[in-house]
Structure 1
Amino acid sequence: MKLSISKRLAAMFAVASFVMLAVLSVAMHGLLKRELERHQSNELQARWTMYKPIIMRNDDVVHWQYVRTKFDNSISENNRVSLWVQSNDPRFLYGASLTDEQRHTMGAHGFGQVMLPGHDAPLKTYSAEVEAHGERPAVLLTVGIDSKPFVETLRAFTVGLIALTVVGALGAAGLGYYIARVGMRPLDRLSGEARGLSPGHLSRRLQTDTLAPELSELADSFNGALSRLETAYQQLEAFNADVAHELRTPLGNLIGQTQVTLSRERSPTELKEALHSNLEDLERLRAIVNDMLFLARADRGERAPNRVEVSIAQEVSHAVEYLEFIFEEAGVKVRIEGDAQASIETSLFRRAVTNLLQNAVQHAPRGAEIVVFVLQQPGAIRVSVQNTGSGIAREHLSRLFDRFYRVDSSRSGSRENHGLGLAIVRAVATMHGGTVFAESESGATTIGFTVAA
């Protein structure tokens, strides 16, 4: 199940708060535990110091009974306290008998603990020797206090810390969810505006004036995508109209000529002429369909598969020879400058160069010279065709390689070409990992493409 951004942020707030509170709780628990242990140690040492003089002042068997009475009274007044006096002389003993294990946990000197029957928690102990005096030998005085109050205090504090951590994490989650919802309101507004967009309102844009910088960048990127989409949609509409126009002319010719032919009896010669005329329009239709299929292959990312290492100038020369009769008819000359070696698919490369040369011939004045430049560049080979003439306005240069695009809006000359020549040049360049370009300055127009070196 996918969670909303608000819920994810709330969950992250909860986790972060839980971790932070848990770390603080562990630190506070450790601090309290050390303080309670220090408090117990101080109390044990203070009580041992208080009971030691009683033993010191009674150094014979007769007065030892006073020690027992004093210790009994002290224990009865404070049932948390326990006392033991251990000695090698059985006359100078005090306290309940202990097992070997209990003596071991109490320790001979210093701090220890002992678990006695009837107690829920161990007794913390402090043991130290009281030096011999008079008839009394050296004895080991042990003071014990019940740790149950300290254990209960620590347990209650631990439960409180756990509850505080859980409640704090849940509170942070709730507060985080509220903050996230408030913070996401501008994004919700953007979503509402985006849902209101439609193909009929492609000129609309998201409002970015009141947005935070992060969302403003996102909205600007989205608006940029909308602008590109609007341009592509407009180009698609123009493309559809151009396709319809290009197909309508030969189809109209076919239908009209066929209707005229069938309007009355025709001789075999007249029928043959009609079929020849129809064949020309059918060939034109086939050329349009084949070119569009080729462009569709390039759009799918197809690359030139059958590449060979060749001389670019030599391949250009082959294309020039193929169009030689067109150059002679137009009264223009072609010159090739430069050379380079590149891995290309020769059939596709010649097709692109042929299209560039045909385009140059159509716009070059009689007697002009067309120059094909081959230039080695870092990582690419640049092939350009330059011709002189009337030139091309700057606003048309960026669209020369669009399908069916013509500088002349009247579409004159559509009988000889159908507006896909330069689009095929771009497709060939793309299939060879290159790009296209067009420049026009001072009556000289240069159009070309690059291939990866």
Structure 2
Amino acid sequence: MTVRLTMLFALSSTVVLLLLGHLIAGSIERHFEEQDMEVLTGKLTLAQHALEKVHSTVDLDVLPRHLDDSLIGHHGLELVVVTPEGQILFATSSARFPQSLLDSRVRMDSASSTVWATEDHQPLRGISALARTGIKDAQPVIVAVATDISHHAHFMNSFRLTLWSFVVLAALLTGFLGWLAVRRGLAPLQAIRREAAGITAQRLDSRLSADAVPVELVGLVEALNEMLARLEDSFRRLAAFSSDIAHELRTPVTNLLTQTQVTLSKARTSNEYCDVLASNAEEFERLARMIADMLFLAKSDNDLVIPNKETLNLIDEVKGLFEFYEALAEEKSIVLTCSGSGVVSGDKLMLRRAISNLLSNALRHTPVGDRIVVHVDDTGNSVVKLSVENPGETIPHEHLPRLFDRFYRVDSSRQRASEGAGAGLGLAITRSILRAHGGDAVIRSECGTTVCELTFPFDRSVSEC
């Protein structure tokens, strides 16, 4: 960027100086031409006036002396007077005019000039015009006058050399000054780069300083700091996720290994071997469910969960799940109730799994003898909502945004309190299922009541059916 900006500054200044030099050179050229034309026109008028006074051959004989007298003091001025037939009536000693100026077809008041160079490379500018004599019936003669423009040519050559030299030096100087300016202007970016280079995976809590940067870069620094915050959160969650996976997998594997080693330590009866195998099978089933859940979440993260859409009555699905959880609810003397109505389009197995996760979670945290209420609300506009409300201990507000994270539990010290607690993937799977259907899941908890709400997109085609 520094090189590009430096080259841009140098190129811009060079172009501007060249244009300025061209304008100045053109103005000087026109000024010199106007000066030359003023001299040439004056001498041409003087010669024409002298020819008008010629009335006889005697006057014609003395004409050269009058014209010589008129040229005294004008160094470098050439004059020639010729007849249309080419006879020279007067000519200065070194007069060498091009044929175009001595053509008989020149006008009476020709004002255009011609520039040429003699054999010894002397540059001249000249004009010519017709002039009438006082001799009766005589044809007009041709008068051509020229002036030496060597000093003008030398000046312009010197000017162009000076201009080019100045342009080159100015381009180099502008490039150097531009480089200094760009280096100074980009110094805050270099400082940001140095700060960012010091941030590693172990120092993601570091933030870039926005106090010493220009106002134009404050937004960039804030965006980078926000990105670092997201990365820090992602790394923290990834580290916690890896730790949780190791813990969740280690426990059943350890149980299987210990129980198997104890069993093999001495001879057992057939019934004892059957009991050990049955216990191992339960641990294997738990591992299989956990691995299946993790694979489901991995597919969800990569948008590979594609639900099979069909029309579902949410109340019917809830009642079917009530029958499944009836025994567990009766054991804890919990009453299951549902109300409302709503029809959605979705995958039956996936949606039943999502609702089942909420009911299982509610049954686990509802006090004995209390009530769980499921309500379906069809707003008729944009969404269909299903809420599962259960009493219990209020969840602290700071935990609510993370309840759908994998392996996250509010009370980590009691996460192994019971086998029914699961692996901490249920709510994460629920939200993944809802998002695969274009909806979402949220949790609210206050005043001893927790409500988990599932939001389904409103399908107009389903409602019309």
Aligned to 1:110, the other structure's residue is in SS state coil
Equivalent residues in 2 for 1:144-223, closer than 5 Å = 144-223=146-225
1:329 is aligned to 328
Deviations 1:249-277 (A, max 9, x none): 21222122212222221111111111010
Alpha-carbon distance between aligned partners in 1 of 2:310 and 2:65, rounded to the nearest angstrom: 116
Q: Normalising by the residue count of structure 1, what TM-score does the alignment of the two structures yield? A: 0.86
2:311 is aligned to 310
In the alignment, which of 3, 10, 13 is matched to residue 6 of structure 2?
A: 10
Alpha-carbon distance between aligned partners in 2 of 1:447 and 1:32, rounded to the nearest angstrom: 88
Residue 392, structure 1, aligned to residue 387, structure 2: no
1:65 is aligned to 61
Moved more, 244-253 or 153-162: 153-162
Equivalent residues in 2 for 1:427-442, closer than 5 Å = 427-442=432-447
Shift of 1:419: 0.2
Shift of 1:380: 5.2
Percent of residue pairs identical: 32
Aligned to 1:448, the other structure's residue is in SS state strand
Provide structure 2 residue ranges, at least 5 long, that are not aligned to the other structure: 459-465
Write the letter of the residue equivalent to 1:318: E
1:83 is aligned to 79
Write the letter of the residue equivalent to 2:388: V
Equivalent residues in 2 for 1:168-317, closer than 5 Å = 168-300=170-302, 302-308=303-309, 310-311=311-312, 314-315=313-314, 317=316
Alpha-carbon distance between aligned partners in 1 of 2:327 and 2:103, rounded to the nearest angstrom: 120
CA gap of 1:63–1:426, structure 2 versus 1, over 3 A, is same
Deviations 1:50-83 (A, max 9, x none): 4333333443322323332444576696563222
Write the letter of the residue equivalent to 1:339: G
Shift of 1:200: 3.0
Alpha-carbon distance between aligned partners in 2 of 1:317 and 1:184, rounded to the nearest angstrom: 66
Alpha-carbon distance between aligned partners in 2 of 1:427 and 1:308, rounded to the nearest angstrom: 16
Alpha-carbon distance between aligned partners in 1 of 2:347 and 2:30, rounded to the nearest angstrom: 82
Alpha-carbon distance between aligned partners in 2 of 1:171 and 1:105, rounded to the nearest angstrom: 57
1:24 is aligned to 20
Equivalent residues in 2 for 1:376-415, closer than 5 Å = 376=379, 381-409=384-412, 410-413=414-417, 415=419
Shift of 1:97: 8.5
Write the letter of the residue equivalent to 1:395: E
Q: How many residues align?
A: 445
Alpha-carbon distance between aligned partners in 1 of 2:305 and 2:292, rounded to the nearest angstrom: 17
Alpha-carbon distance between aligned partners in 2 of 1:387 and 1:106, rounded to the nearest angstrom: 116
Equivalent residues in 2 for 1:326-365, closer than 5 Å = 326-330=325-329, 331-342=334-345, 344-365=346-367
Write the letter of the residue equivalent to 1:407: V
Aligned to 1:329, the other structure's residue is in SS state helix
Shift of 1:42: 2.2
2:114 is aligned to 113
Shift of 1:119: 5.7
CA gap of 1:123–1:389, structure 2 versus 1, over 3 A, is same
CA gap of 1:13–1:277, structure 2 versus 1, over 3 A, is same
Alpha-carbon distance between aligned partners in 2 of 1:226 and 1:133, rounded to the nearest angstrom: 102
Alpha-carbon distance between aligned partners in 2 of 1:327 and 1:121, rounded to the nearest angstrom: 120
Alpha-carbon distance between aligned partners in 2 of 1:113 and 1:339, rounded to the nearest angstrom: 99
Alpha-carbon distance between aligned partners in 1 of 2:51 and 2:80, rounded to the nearest angstrom: 12
Write the letter of the residue equivalent to 1:431: A
Provide structure 1 residue ranges, at least 5 long, that are not aligned to the other structure: none
CA gap of 1:245–1:106, structure 2 versus 1, over 3 A, is farther
Deviations 1:294-332 (A, max 9, x none): 1112222x1443442524xx1563254145231443133
1:421 is aligned to 426
Deviations 1:177-207 (A, max 9, x none): 1112222223222222222223333322222
CA gap of 1:105–1:258, structure 2 versus 1, over 3 A, is farther
Write the letter of the residue equivalent to 1:253: N
CA gap of 1:74–1:327, structure 2 versus 1, over 3 A, is farther
Alpha-carbon distance between aligned partners in 1 of 2:96 and 2:3, rounded to the nearest angstrom: 64
**Does the CA-based 8 Å contact 1:396-1:407 persist in structure 2?**
yes
Residue 445, structure 1, aligned to residue 450, structure 2: yes
Shift of 1:401: 0.6
Shift of 1:36: 2.8
Could you list the structure 1 runs, at least 4 aligned residues long, displaced by more than 6 angstroms after superposition: 73-77, 89-92, 96-99
Write the letter of the residue equivalent to 1:443: G
Write the letter of the residue equivalent to 1:267: T
Q: Normalising by the residue count of structure 2, what TM-score does the alignment of the two structures yield? A: 0.84
2:462 is aligned to none
Shift of 1:32: 2.7
CA gap of 1:268–1:74, structure 2 versus 1, over 3 A, is farther
**Does the CA-based 8 Å contact 1:64-1:92 persist in structure 2?**
no
In the alignment, which of 89, 94, 101 is matched to residue 90 of structure 2?
A: 94
Shift of 1:377: 8.0
**Does the CA-based 8 Å contact 1:83-1:94 persist in structure 2?**
yes
Moved more, 109-118 or 288-297: 109-118
Write the letter of the residue equivalent to 2:415: R
Deviations 1:90-134 (A, max 9, x none): 777334697764546994222131646416476433334434324
Alpha-carbon distance between aligned partners in 2 of 1:383 and 1:35, rounded to the nearest angstrom: 92
Aligned to 2:419, the other structure's residue is in SS state coil
CA gap of 1:294–1:179, structure 2 versus 1, over 3 A, is same
CA gap of 1:44–1:310, structure 2 versus 1, over 3 A, is farther
Alpha-carbon distance between aligned partners in 1 of 2:437 and 2:171, rounded to the nearest angstrom: 59
Alpha-carbon distance between aligned partners in 2 of 1:379 and 1:68, rounded to the nearest angstrom: 111
2:463 is aligned to none
